[in-house]
């Protein structure tokens, strides 16, 4: 009796292990096992080559399937032996690197855990092929376009670039049943008109301008719903829906037209979290999708969860907002208060990113990821004049101080109360306020 009881408990535990993949357990798996170690934006093609070697030494099949304009290798990894063909590609835009790291980590995990029941189920149901970093030349230059200056994702019709020709050929030779097109979007993209960052945006891409809901499209909506439901555990309020206007020259749209309905995943950013966190979210999204497809659990997903996502917005969120800072009197003008909005330019993680003034004036419907209440301060631009387009380098002075603004060497004669430089408080600070 006791033995049977133990056996039942053991069998139950095994079953739970097979079925109870939660988003949290996937995230914990990534924490334990991810093999990418450098920030995705710092990874060059040579780093991806090293990752590929690691995958090969683990037993993952990876082949060189083509070369870029500048003769750099483009790889495709393959895993699983199932009948459902899933094709994924990342970084066709060179400066959009998050998913490349996530794909590498996904293959490493699948291979290491291939005997774990739920992973085994994926391998029996699905064959996955993925091209991490389709645009190695762009990645090495940290630019969107390929070496010819062509946007590969606007080259699906003309096929002027070797990278676009390769991507089309890989699809046509294999005819995958589902595609994942993996990108990054601007870090200040918002969820609808809310001032919250769209950390992940999804689009179930239509295969025609008439927006026909095919069987594959409906399935992809359910797969997207599974992804949303998993990501809600980590980033509620930070998931958006990418605009779905038909783009005849884009790959996602054409993949659908050619017979491979595709899901677009766009990674943005999340205030206070680094790029590795975003890799983890991608990884959770990929494995959730594969698991849902392999077990058939996608069939029970409510597409409404995807369809209800607010569309991406932009333009009302900035990196920094200084509210009501006083511009000192000058040239007969009395002092006046202004809101100053500052954004940080996109750079590789290890590079210093410059900050620029993007808007000035009365900005009640705009928000900063960091907001400061500057109503009790004068503000002075430290490098040049205070205007839109100049750098976000500021000295702040309490308003009750008497200062000769025309003094040469102003900061030496009148040490500021606070200095904001390179996106940080270098000296003192002014009160922050929550947006
Ligand atoms: Zn892109």
Cα distance between residue 89 and residue 182, in whole Å: 6
Structure tokens belonging to residue 197: 């960052």
pLDDT tens digit sequence for 164-216: 999 999 999 999 999 999 999 999 999 999 999 999 999 999 999 999 999 99
CA 99 to ligand 1 center in whole angstroms? 11
CA 333 to ligand 1 center in whole angstroms? 46
- Over 50: is that where the pLDDT of 16 sits? no
User: What is the length of the chain?
Assistant: 435
CA 19 to ligand 1 center in whole angstroms? 34
User: Are the C-beta atoms of 423 and 416 separated by less than 8 Å?
Assistant: no
pLDDT at 245: 87
Domains of the chain: 21-313 (3.40.630.10), 317-433 (2.30.40.10)
pLDDT tens digit sequence for 387-433: 999 999 999 999 999 999 999 999 999 999 999 999 999 999 999 98
CA 233 to ligand 1 center in whole angstroms? 25
Give Cα 120 distance to the centre of its chain.
29
pLDDT tens digit sequence for 284-322: 999 999 999 999 999 999 999 999 999 999 999 999 999
| DSSP-assigned letter for residue 154 | G
Output the 3-class SS for 258-324.
Answer: HCCCEEEEEECCCCCCCHHHHHHHHHHHHHHHHHHHHHCHHHHCCCHHHHCCCEEECCCEEEEEEEE
The total of other beta-carbon atoms located within 10 Å of residue 355's CB is 20
CA 183 to ligand 1 center in whole angstroms? 4
End-to-end CA distance of the chain: 62
pLDDT at 334: 93
- Average of per-residue pLDDT values in the chain: 94
3-state SS class at 255: helix
CA 262 to ligand 1 center in whole angstroms? 15
Query: Residues with Cβ within 5 Å of ion ligand 1?
Result: 93, 96, 183
Among 125, 124, 82, 129, which Cα is nearest to 106's?
129
Residue 4: C-alpha distances to residues 7, 8, 176 (Å): 5, 6, 46
CA 266 to ligand 1 center in whole angstroms? 8
CA 384 to ligand 1 center in whole angstroms? 35
* Reported confidence tier of residue 20, pLDDT bands at 50, 70, 90: low
CA 197 to ligand 1 center in whole angstroms? 17
CA 335 to ligand 1 center in whole angstroms? 44
3-state SS class at 174: helix
CA 90 to ligand 1 center in whole angstroms? 9
CA 378 to ligand 1 center in whole angstroms? 41
What phi and psi values does residue 366 have, to the nearest 5 degrees? -115, 155
CA 244 to ligand 1 center in whole angstroms? 14
- The alpha carbon torsion through 87, 251, 188, 232 (nearest 10 deg) reads -30
pLDDT tens digit sequence for 206-258: 999 999 999 999 999 999 999 999 999 999 999 999 998 889 999 999 999 99
CA 68 to ligand 1 center in whole angstroms? 17
pLDDT at 435: 58
CA 280 to ligand 1 center in whole angstroms? 19
- Over 90: is that where the pLDDT of 19 sits? no
CA 93 to ligand 1 center in whole angstroms? 5
Cα distance between residue 150 and residue 286, in whole Å: 28
- Over 50: is that where the pLDDT of 14 sits? no
CA 181 to ligand 1 center in whole angstroms? 9
CA 191 to ligand 1 center in whole angstroms? 18
pLDDT at 392: 97
């Amino acid at each position: 009796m006791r033995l049977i009881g133990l056996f039942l408990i053991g069998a139950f535990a095994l079953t739970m292990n097979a079925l109870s993949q939660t988003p949290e357990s996937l995230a914990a798996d990534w924490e334990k096992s991810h093999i990418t170690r450098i920030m995705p934006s710092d990874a060059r093609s040579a780093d991806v080559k090293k990752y590929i070697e690691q995958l090969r030494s683990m037993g993952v099949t990876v082949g060189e399937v083509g070369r870029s304009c500048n003769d750099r290798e483009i790889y495709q990894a393959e895993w699983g032996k199932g009948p459902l063909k899933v094709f994924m590609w990342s970084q066709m835009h060179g400066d959009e690197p998050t998913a490349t790291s996530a794909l590498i980590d996904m293959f490493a995990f699948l291979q290491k855990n291939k005997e774990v029941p739920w992973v085994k189920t994926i391998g029996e149901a699905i064959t996955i092929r993925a091209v991490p970093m389709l645009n190695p030349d762009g990645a090495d230059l940290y630019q969107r376009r390929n070496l010819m200056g062509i946007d590969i994702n606007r080259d699906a019709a003309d096929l002027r670039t070797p990278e676009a020709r390769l991507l089309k050929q890989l699809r046509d030779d294999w005819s995958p049943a589902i595609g994942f097109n993996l990108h990054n979007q601007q870090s200040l993209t918002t969820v609808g008109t809310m001032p919250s960052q769209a950390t992940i945006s999804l689009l179930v891409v239509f295969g025609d301008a008439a927006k026909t809901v095919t069987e594959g499209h409906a399935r992809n909506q359910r797969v997207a719903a599974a992804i949303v439901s998993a990501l809600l555990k980590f980033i509620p309020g930070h998931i958006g829906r990418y605009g779905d206007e038909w783009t005849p020259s884009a790959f996602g749209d054409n993949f659908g037209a050619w017979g491979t309905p595709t899901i677009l995943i766009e990674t943005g950013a999340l205030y206070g979290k680094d790029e590795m966190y975003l890799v983890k979210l991608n990884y959770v999204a990929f494995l959730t999708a594969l698991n849902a497809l392999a077990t058939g659990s996608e069939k029970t997903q409510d597409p409404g969860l995807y369809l209800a996502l607010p569309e991406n917005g932009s333009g009302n969120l900035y990196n920094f907002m200084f509210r009501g800072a006083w511009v000192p009197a000058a040239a007969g003008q009395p002092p006046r208060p202004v809101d100053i909005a500052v954004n940080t330019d996109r750079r590789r993680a290890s590079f210093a990113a410059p900050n620029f003034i993007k808007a000035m004036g009365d900005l009640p419907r705009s928000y900063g990821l960091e907001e400061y209440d500057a109503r009790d301060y004068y503000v002075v631009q430290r490098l040049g004049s205070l205007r839109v387009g100049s750098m976000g380098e500021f000295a702040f002075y309490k308003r009750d101080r008497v200062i000769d603004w025309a003094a040469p060497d102003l900061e030496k004669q009148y040490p500021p109360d606070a200095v904001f430089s390179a996106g940080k408080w270098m000296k003192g600070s002014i009160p922050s306020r929550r947006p």
